[in-house]
Amino acid sequence: MVTLEYPQSEMQGPPFSVEESEVFDLYSPFYEVNKVYEKDILQTEENVRFKVHGLTSLIEKVFFINSTSLPRLGDRRERKSIYLKQCITGLNF
């Protein structure tokens, strides 16, 4: 998965900013997630247009998402339960 991360207060997108924590929060309950690349690409010629929009940082990140560590299909309820618990604990009541 390739993402772009930048201060959203500086530009509303598209492309939209996706923070590293979002990738891990959404995928790590079900998959093995590893960040394999990170680079500030704002200074490249092809991304000058983002600098014109006022961006101070534009980080490209690449994640390897591996499904081999998934529990067996028989454990689907357990995975769903883990996911629901994470969603509930993340809510503010």
Closest C-alpha among 5, 66, 9, 75 to residue 38 = 5
pLDDT of 67: 80
pLDDT of 93: 34
pLDDT of 92: 41
Q: What is the CATH number of the domain that holds 54?
A: 3.40.50.150
Based on the structure, what is the number of domains in the chain? Answer: 1
Q: Which runs of E-coded beta strand occur in 1-93? A: 2-5, 32-40, 59-66
Residues in the chain with pLDDT < 50? 73-74, 92-93
Letter string b/e over residues 77-90, b meaning 16 or more CB atoms within 10 A of that residue's CB: eeeeeeeeeeeeee
CA dist 8 and 59 (Å) reads 12
pLDDT of 61: 96
Domain that holds residue 43: 2-89
